[in-house]
Amino acid sequence: MRFILFIIGLALSADGLYYGAVTGMGIGESLVVAMGVAFILWSVAYDAAKRNGFLKFLKRLFIFCMTLFVIYSCAVCVVGRMDNADYNEKYLIVPGAGLNGDKPSVTLENRLVKAAEYLNRNGSAKVIVSGGQGADEDVPEAAAMMNYLELHGIRSERIIPEAEAESTYENFAYSVPMTDGSDAAFITNDFHVVRASMMAKLNGMNAKHIAAPTPPTLLPVCCAREMAAQIASIRYYF
């Protein structure tokens, strides 16, 4: 068991550090590294955690927190993959995500691949690409998304850029009015669908959606970030 705990800790730490080096050390990456370190410390103090009362308490608290994290991650991904768009919508909204310079990150590219598939299937729909420019990004996310879709055969007149949004709530606050009340759906990654649906509803959108996949190695980081963002989004309800 000690060896298993150490391997889990090593894998989580390496995963968080890798994506931190590639995309920047954000809250998701930091949380995953912290989880990994906690597993490694547990493996080192495995025997002591059975005897010492304080260490036993910390172990139980950590197990409780990890159980909640796993349940949350599984739930949001399972629910997120239950697509309900009918491909007859007049508008498609694609919330932005991080860029690597002026190129979409892996998570954002997966959203755009799904968006291109949708637009090829629903030839009359227009797409709203929503996302402002972060401090470490060379262009607004909306501009990078528009460029990607154009390079993949989507005509520019079907693409509506929204380059001001800095959060999921703002993605919908700024994009929904552009639909003029017409039927709309959104595309985002599976782990993000639940929160995006909540933000869409807060802005008066009937939350039809299509999920884009997330690479398995990126899921721990994304789900950790998403859990923190879900807690922070409570402020929009007050």
List pLDDT tens digits, range 35-83.
999 999 999 998 888 888 899 999 999 999 999 999 999 999 999 999 9
Residues 211/94, Cβ–Cβ less than 8 Å: no
Tokens of 76: 């949001």
pLDDT at 151: 95
Mean pLDDT across the stretch 205-220?
92
Q: Is it the case that residue 135 has pLDDT exceeding 90?
A: no
Which H or E run includes 31?
helix 27-44
pLDDT at 206: 85
pLDDT-wise least confident of 13-22, 36-45, 123-132: 13-22
Residues 228/200, Cβ–Cβ less than 8 Å: no
Residues 72/227, Cβ–Cβ less than 8 Å: yes
Report how far apart, in Å, the C-alpha atoms of 32 and of each of 5, 51, 68, 223 are. Answer: 15, 27, 14, 9
Tokens of 10: 């090593």
This prediction's pTM = 0.89
